[in-house]
Chain A
């Protein structure tokens, strides 16, 4: 009896050591044996390296990135790319990695190249493709010292999306001011007898509410001639002025322009309602159309600029970086990483990535090919693109405050004044720690 137990323990210990050995082997080696022998002849002089690459995107867009990366591996047999796309926990994972200084060699920055990832990124301004950068996107990914943080493969151009057929059916025009927007919403409500909602917000996911604030803060506070941009930047903003914004959202709800389940519907429910023609507007970006088309491929949807609010102002788009690659400054394989990023900067690759996101490309030597949305980008070519409000005027970490308090005001837990007070408190705290 005793012996058999003891041998069992030995077995377990053996097993564990064996696995440990396996694990560390994998860490050090990288390439499989088969690859090694096959490529020995041509890579003798070059050292084999393994690049770790992480992105936040999933699905079709991730597949495009992965395909390009596979092609890269074929062209560069001594470089092995380990591609990871963890999905919704990407941001949290990256935060933990930053804290532990364990960054991947190449990673996506999803809008935060400067403010969040800045201190971990290598300056790419010396790269050949840097000269082709589209001037429109340049300010979002570089700073005044000339440091270029990432390669932007596309550039965001976001505004509300709308159902073209429904607007036509009700005989309504695309609104250019917020008052027109409200009038359209009222018309939708009466003409559909309440069967179609004007605006669908998947508030249970909280970020769609933040999206509303992010869109409309710009025309309310930033884009007009008289604006508060400087006050935000130096921290002197009078938060009483902010009250109007949460009140706008609350009024949409009180007037019955929002879906009834705004607090419990999720983003996927928004896409479903939009796809089924139960909602006219989605306060999301171009990506929303694509998600809805998965459900209804015949959906006829369009993109519009954010309506203006202040008198004399014009509509704008919200913009900035979207799909990017940055290189960790602590990477041990900087040369290989630069090669990898440069590969993605080739015009056909940039074009493929931008197309998969239905967005304009980030490099000026590449033509726009955004599928069905190309027409809208052409139509609104002259419309100014202003950066997303929260990325520039709010300290990093405020996003969740926008969203959660937005839920709270819709639930009737707080009023607009309390909303602004909560904003002010976090604004001051986060500014103080920076």
Chain B
């Protein structure tokens, strides 16, 4: 009997074969090609190139722009993950109360996801613009000097993180709302009888039971934040210089503008490894913390 069950479940594995075929053809094969390119000095378009071994990987170590870019990428990744989760949870808790029109507000908070990120970046650019930007106009009302918000790399990085958070926190919020709704109400009632206050209920009931929602959010946000591209292109194009670049925009720049496709491919592979390690580790760690109902 046991044997039979085992073999029948192995047979079920054919069900993921279509998906694997898709991945093999459209992702694995080109990805392996990309690894090959990273060992060449190809310029990205001509037919001739030569193999240069690990040269492009070593070059990263002495490239000071790569350092800035990695730090920025980490801020984009972790900054937006933390912000989206904290704000998303706060919104979800607030909107979980008995309030009229909360469904409507939830819809509004979610809607920015519908605009493409590139357009979202342009829209927010008009806010932080030096001349005629909304923020500076408001400052002027109070008699303050205008600030060139996006001119400083580190500040631009945080502004971009904020914009990314603004756009996608609706997803995080929705996942949290759903998670909150699935927590049985009697848990809270029992705790109230024991005299627990709001904080201890939150800490002992809400948070542990929200762990699965947190896992989904954290994994999706980390990957999204570390791969951030469109918003940066629209707002600063990675500038001034490379001061607000992410690994994605840097790679794009190297590939097309600098015509150093080998280097771009090498950077892409390092980026892949980096994101894979970070996101899969957090996936496994968070999964362990989840409690089953």
| Chain A residues within 8 Å of B, Cβ to Cβ | 91-92, 94-96, 98-99, 101, 116, 119, 203-206, 260-261, 263-265, 269, 273, 396-397, 399-401, 404-405, 407-408, 410-411, 413-414, 426, 429-430, 433
Contacts and interface: CB of A to CB of B under 8 A. Distances in A.
B256 A401 contact: no
Interface in B103-153: 128-131, 148-153
Given A204-B237, A413-B241, A433-B49, 6 more contacts: A98-B46, A264-B128, A264-B129, A396-B259, A397-B260, A404-B239
Contacts of A263: 148, 150-151, 239-240
B253 interface: yes
Interface stretch (B37-45, B215-223, B266-274): B37-45
Q: List the 3 shortest-distance A-B pairs measured between CB atoms, nearest first.
A: A408-B241, A261-B130, A397-B259
Interface of B: 41, 43-47, 49, 128-131, 148-153, 236-237, 239-243, 253, 256-260
Contacts of A405: 241
> Max chain A CB contacts within 10 Å: which of B152, B243, B259?
B259
A307 B92 CA distance: 62
B239 A204 contact: yes
Contacts of B236: 204, 264
A264 B46 contact: no
> Max chain B CB contacts within 10 Å: which of A91, A92, A203, A263?
A263
Contacts of A429: 260
A292 B241 CA distance: 27
Contacts of A401: 258
A264 B131 CA distance: 10
Contact of B256 (A92, A119, A404): A92
A94 B44 CA distance: 11
Contact of B47 (A119, A265, A430): A119
Contacts of B44: 95, 99
Nearest to B241: A408
26 contacts: A94-B45, A95-B44, A95-B45, A204-B150, A204-B239, A205-B237, A260-B130, A261-B130, A261-B148, A263-B239, A264-B130, A265-B131, A273-B131, A396-B259, A401-B258, A404-B241, A404-B253, A408-B240, A410-B240, A411-B152, A411-B153, A411-B241, A411-B243, A413-B153, A413-B240, A433-B43
Contacts of A397: 43, 257-260
Contacts of A206: 237, 239
A280 to B, nearest CB: 17
A308 B70 CA distance: 43
A98 B256 CA distance: 12
A411 B44 CA distance: 30
Nearest to A116: B45
Contacts of B148: 260-261, 263-264
Nearest to B242: A404
A74 to B, nearest CB: 35
B258 A407 contact: no
Contacts of B41: 433
A421 B49 CA distance: 26
A96 B261 CA distance: 11
A400 B254 CA distance: 9
A399 B257 contact: yes
Contacts of A400: 253, 257-258
